[in-house]
Amino acid sequence: MTSYLAVFGNPIEHSLSPVIHNYFAKICSIDLQYDKILVQKGGFDKAADDFLERGLGFNITQPFKLDALNYAKKRGVLSKAARAAGAVNTIAKLKDGRIFGDTTDGYGLVLDLKRLQMPTSGAKCLLIGAGGAARGIISSLFTEGGLLSMVICNRTHQKAVDVASFFANSGFKVTAAPEDRLEGHFDIIINASSSSLHKTLPNIKDEVYKGAAAAYDLMYTKEEKTIFTEHLKSLGVCSYDGLGMLVAQAAGSFEIWHGILPDISGTLSYLRAYLKNA
Ligand code: NDP
């Protein structure tokens, strides 16, 4: 029997989710149809109800991750990760008809950091950015990645302070520091800001980056490099773009819907080749 799935967003044309899920389906021998759905502002709940009449579930990309959180709150249950992140990127219809809302961004990032053998356990982490992606990965980095501590820096410092305050009673050691006054050493550096999208670098001194074991930019490109990864490499820090996280968060959704975690490395190689030929 065919499973109907989709990704909701606006814009949506650029989404690689159908390519990834169709490849997962092929390697896991699962019969599915995965569509892209352009949702209009204010139209999320209706689009979701309509799709779930026959759909098994769907993914959510910008700008609807908060609408999806509210939808799952109203219609069913939210995972702990979704509550901590304040966002939902995966909706699944449960057997009893209720809706389950989860986020696999943090899970996906940690899976990818493990694939890359980035040393997260007991690590001091610098997190750059305080938007939706940054907030969505913090709790997984501690619970699944085993971080020791995290300092958040953001272009707008107050937002970093707000995110750190949100985690104040979580038991995680999260603090905020202004970018231009940041000092000290970090084991790993994660850029969860959109700086690379705008071809700019965060306003952080090179001394802070030097000596880190590795760095990761959530942004990805078909060339497998961003302005941030190239800058960090020039300072002697191993650096990776975020395409592996994109595949791994999709694998997390696939696991929720089908109960199987597909091969991430193989799919990533396929996707790199697909992008180079696109
Ligand atoms: P948001 O719009 O929620 O947040 C953007 C963040 O980037 C804010 O902290 C903002 O700072 C900062 N920022 C924006 N422009 C600049 C700039 N020119 N210089 C420095 N900082 C800047 O976006 P998201 O959090 O959803 O996404 C952030 C990035 O992560 C995007 O590039 C996105 O593509 C990527 N991403 C990748 C995923 C993957 O699977 N690989 C998954 C999710 C996201 P300020 O507060 O000052 O505005």
State how far the Cα of 165 lies from the Cα of 168, in Å rounded to an integer.
5
Average pLDDT over residues 225-232: 98
Average pLDDT over residues 44-63: 97
State how far the Cα of 102 lies from the Cα of 176, in Å rounded to an integer.
27
Under 8 Å between Cβ of 101 and 78? yes
State how far the Cα of 132 lies from the Cα of 68, in Å rounded to an integer.
13
Average pLDDT, the chain: 96
- Atom 43 of ligand 1, residue of closest alpha carbon: 133
pLDDT score of 278 more than 90: no
Helices (H), the chain: 17-28, 44-52, 65-75, 80-85, 105-115, 132-143, 157-166, 206-209, 227-234, 243-258, 264-277
> In this structure, which amino acid lies at residue 112?
D
Q: Which residues pair with 102 in a beta bridge?
A: 90
What are the phi and psi torsion angles at 45 (to 5°)? -60, -45
Count the neighbouring beta carbons within 10 Å of the beta carbon of residue 100.
19
Q: Which residues pair with 151 in a beta bridge?
A: 126, 175
User: Which of the residues are catalytic?
Assistant: 65
| Contacting residues for 46 by C-beta, under 8 A, at least 6 apart | none
- Atom 8 of ligand 1, residue of closest alpha carbon: 131
Peptide bond into 262 cis (omega under 30): no
Count the neighbouring beta carbons within 10 Å of the beta carbon of residue 97.
9
- Atom 32 of ligand 1, residue of closest alpha carbon: 194
Q: Which of 194, 200, 201, 271 to mutate to test the pocket of ligand 1 (most atoms within 8 A of CB)?
A: 194
**3-class secondary-structure state, position 197:** helix
- State which ligand 1 atom lies nearest to the alpha carbon of 198: 18
Note the pLDDT of residue 107.
96
Note the pLDDT of residue 47.
98
The fraction of the chain above a pLDDT of 90, given in percent, is 95
Note the pLDDT of residue 84.
87
pLDDT score of 146 more than 90: yes
- State which ligand 1 atom lies nearest to the alpha carbon of 196: 32
Between the two ends of the chain, the Cα-to-Cα distance in Å is 31
State how far the Cα of 236 lies from the Cα of 116, in Å rounded to an integer.
17
Q: How far is CA 133 from CA 61, 62, 219, 221, in A?
A: 11, 11, 11, 17
pLDDT digits (tens, 9 = 90+) for 156-177: 999 999 999 999 999 999 999 9
Pocket of ligand 1 (CB under 6 A): 105, 129-134, 154-156, 159, 192-195, 197-198, 200, 202, 218-220, 242, 245-246, 249
- State which ligand 1 atom lies nearest to the alpha carbon of 155: 47
Note the pLDDT of residue 132.
87
Count the neighbouring beta carbons within 10 Å of the beta carbon of residue 63.
14
How big is the chain, counted in residues? 278
State how far the Cα of 267 lies from the Cα of 24, in Å rounded to an integer.
7
Average pLDDT over residues 137-147: 96
pLDDT digits (tens, 9 = 90+) for 24-38: 999 999 999 999 999
- Token pair 């907030």 is found at 135
Note the pLDDT of residue 3.
96
Note the pLDDT of residue 121.
98
Q: How wide is the angle at C-alpha 170 spanned by C-alphas 166 and 174, nearest 5°?
A: 65
pLDDT digits (tens, 9 = 90+) for 89-102: 999 999 898 999 99
The fraction of the chain above a pLDDT of 70, given in percent, is 100
Note the pLDDT of residue 276.
92
